[in-house]
Amino acid sequence: MSIPIFHSSGAALPKALTEKCPAVIAGFEKVYKSKPDFVSRSPGRVNLIGEHIDYADFSVLPMAIDVDMLIAVKVLDDKKNPSITLANADERFAQRKFDLPLDGSFVTIDASISDWSNYFKCGLHVAHEFLKEIEPTKFGKAPLAGLEVYCQGNVPTGSGLSSSAAFICATALAIVRSNMPTSYKMTKQDLMRITVVAEHYVGVNNGGMDQAASVCGQDDHALYVEFKPELKATAFKFPALKSTAVEFVIANTLKVSNKVETAPTNYNLRVVEVTVAAEVLAAKYGVSLKKSGTLGKGNLRDFMNAYYAKYHNVPKPWDGDVTTGIERLNKMLELVQETFGSHKSGYTVDEASAALNTSKEEFTKDYLTTFPVRFQVLKLYQRAKHVYSESLRVLDALKIMTSGQKFASDEEFFKLFGGLMNQSQESCDKLYECSCEETDKICEIALANGSYGSRLTGAGWGGCTVHLVPTENVESVKKALIEQFYKKQYPTITDTELKEAILVSKPTIGSCLYELA
Ligand code: NG1
Ligand code: MG
């Protein structure tokens, strides 16, 4: 399927465009004194369940939401000296300008400095690689087209709603659109495939959930995103209920977690911990893993497949089938207990290297240098248990959503799905240690005032929370959060800030283009 393209003179525009395009076009005109050629847009997302398992290649359940990044672009005819100028509606992000190498080489990204233009450059980089792949003669040695760019977004940054993915996906789409004939139709599959790794260029060893959700979002649908055997996003609706509807309230803790800055002790460290756990399991059960990610030799999903190939003679990797998945993940939880249960205090570098029969130097080279990390011990038991149990919960949630199961009452649905969300929060907090006081407080208040399931969403350590709420309880949840959390925690909070802190968002369409006449 290709990325939708809308025209100013064409058929009805989606709400996301009618509401926001006029402002981004006006912003562009003010800065550059001319009209843009097109607008590229990509949304943020909320993850309903399946946290910190995408980088172990286990499936997740996010949905795209109606906060997004819009990028208005004019393609310049400046082949002799092409450059890109970036302006942003948000005054925290000052104007930037850089040249495009004349020999067609990539623009360099300095990941050691934190600058908003780095995210643009990530999208530029992966799009440039893609262009070289599909049109090697055209883009091998020639420069990309110069651009004037104006960005306007309302995905809160550092909040777990994927402002970074929204920006990068919108950028990559804009670069491809600017350098290919206007008749070219980029597929969702291609945009998703090239953007999933883009943030590695700013130093975050992330999985692919956010980009898949941002690219493939659909009105009124949540997404089941699979990474293996192939990257795929399937849209599905929530079950029809008798007398109410499903709403997701998204409440921001307003505690910003800068992913890049905290990566060595938080995000990237977790990726190391779960990868090392997979290899310790592989060593213990005598199976070998093939390299599949950025670190080491394999992940917890690879271990599960290798274990079943060896001990149950199932050579084909698990293909996502729910019943088999549930059975295998339960088995994995037993193995985690067997392997790490007596070593819950965690592994030092010496202990981890010994468990893998490798030297400290090799271990450091394999796991601790590509993306720098800082730690005392690696908590293999807790992290592996989280990943397998969270993956199980995703399959349970999918079963509830898609089985066509008739619920005895609406409340039964809320209790089942909400229960899984609450268990996910418990596991993120206790085993993965990615929650925080503010998140815990918000979840407690929401649950006491009409939410059936409350949890952090995205990487955590602050950022946003998501709550499963029947329509009739939305107001009581909001009111309780305002009175008992926001006004207490942030006494000087303004009404505008409050409005932005709590969103009730419907699932929306993913990446799209708007062509001006
Ligand atoms: P957020 O916090 O939205 O950036 C991050 C990762 C995801 C996923 C979640 C945790 C990036 C770009 N994204 O999301 O891939 O691992 O954390 O489930 O780092
Ligand atoms: Mg992000």
Over the range 283-309, which residues count as b (16 or more CB within 10 Å of their CB) and which as e?
beeebebeeebebbbbbbbbbbbbbbe
Q: Model pTM?
A: 0.93
CB atoms within 10 A of CB 231: 17
Identify the burial level of 106 via C-beta atoms within 10 angstroms of its C-beta, where 0-12 means exposed, 13-18 middle and 19 or more buried. Answer: middle
- What pLDDT sits at residue 259? 79
Q: Are residues 54 and 113 in the same domain?
A: yes
Boundary of a domain, candidates 433, 450, 475: 433
Point out the ligand 1 atom lying closest to the alpha carbon of residue 208: 15
Looking up tokens 């079943």, which residue turns up? 308
The best mutation among 58, 209, 300 to test binding of ligand 1, ranked by most ligand atoms within 8 Å of the C-beta, falls on: 209
Domain assignment present for 46: yes
| Tokens encoding 494 | 């303004």
**Ligand 1 center–CA 206 separation, angstroms:** 6
Q: Which helix (H) or strand (E) holds 62?
A: strand 61-75
**Ligand 2 center–CA 116 separation, angstroms:** 12
Ligand of minimum distance to the alpha carbon of 56:
1
Mean pLDDT of 144-171: 94
On average, the pLDDT of the chain sits at 94
Domain assignment present for 490: no
Domain assignment present for 447: no
**pLDDT tens-digit series, residues 316-353:** 889 989 999 999 999 999 999 999 999 999 999 999 99
Ligand of minimum distance to the alpha carbon of 62:
1
Looking up tokens 């205090």, which residue turns up? 345
Flag whether pLDDT at 90 surpasses 70.
yes
> Distance between CA atoms of 398 and 58, rounded to whole angstroms?
13
- What pLDDT sits at residue 408? 86
- What pLDDT sits at residue 437? 97
Domain assignment present for 470: no
Ligand of minimum distance to the alpha carbon of 50:
1
- What pLDDT sits at residue 283? 96
- What pLDDT sits at residue 401? 87
- What pLDDT sits at residue 157? 85
Q: Are residues 184 and 290 in the same domain?
A: no
Q: Are residues 11 and 151 in the same domain?
A: yes
**pLDDT tens-digit series, residues 223-259:** 999 999 889 999 999 888 889 989 999 999 999 988 7
Q: Are residues 194 and 286 in the same domain?
A: no
201: Cα separation from own chain's centroid: 15
Domain assignment present for 245: no
Q: Are residues 83 and 212 in the same domain?
A: yes
Query: pLDDT band at 203, cuts 50/70/90?
Result: confident
- What pLDDT sits at residue 293? 67
Query: pLDDT band at 360, cuts 50/70/90?
Result: very high
CATH code (residue 37): 3.30.230.10
Domain assignment present for 442: no
Q: Which helix (H) or strand (E) holds 153?
A: strand 147-153
Closest CA to 509 of 156, 8, 63: 63
Query: pLDDT band at 11, cuts 50/70/90?
Result: confident
Looking up tokens 């599960």, which residue turns up? 304
Query: pLDDT band at 78, cuts 50/70/90?
Result: confident
The torsion of the CA quartet 403, 404, 407, 408, rounded to 10 degrees, works out to -120
Q: Are residues 131 and 274 in the same domain?
A: no
Q: Are residues 285 and 230 in the same domain?
A: no
Mean pLDDT of 420-442: 98
CATH code (residue 274): 1.20.1440.340
Mean pLDDT of 14-43: 95
Q: Which candidate in 210, 302, 366, 429 is catalytic?
A: 210
**Ligand 2 center–CA 166 separation, angstroms:** 9
Q: Are residues 229 and 276 in the same domain?
A: no
Rank 241-245, 358-362, 505-509 by mean pLDDT and report only the highest.
Answer: 358-362
Flag whether pLDDT at 139 surpasses 70.
yes
Boundary of a domain, candidates 433, 458, 486: 433
Domain range for 305: 267-433
**Ligand 1 center–CA 207 separation, angstroms:** 7
**pLDDT tens-digit series, residues 382-403:** 999 999 999 999 999 999 988 7
Q: Are residues 283 and 408 in the same domain?
A: yes
Query: β-pairing, 464-470 with 453-456?
Result: antiparallel
Query: How many domains is the chain partitioned into structurally?
Result: 2
**pLDDT tens-digit series, residues 163-178:** 999 999 999 999 999 9
Shortest-distance Cα residue to atom 6 of ligand 1: 206
The best mutation among 45, 51, 54 to test binding of ligand 1, ranked by most ligand atoms within 8 Å of the C-beta, falls on: 54
Q: Are residues 361 and 419 in the same domain?
A: yes
Boundary of a domain, candidates 389, 410, 433: 433
Mean pLDDT of 450-464: 96
Q: Which residues contact 228 (CB under 8 A, 6 or more apart)?
A: 57, 301, 317, 320
- Residues 64, 43 contacting (CB under 8 angstroms): yes
Point out the ligand 1 atom lying closest to the alpha carbon of residue 60: 18
- What pLDDT sits at residue 240? 85
ipTM of this predicted complex? 0.95
> Distance between CA atoms of 220 and 65, rounded to whole angstroms?
10
Q: Are residues 217 and 327 in the same domain?
A: no
Q: Are residues 318 and 227 in the same domain?
A: no
User: Does the annotation mark 54 as catalytic?
Assistant: no
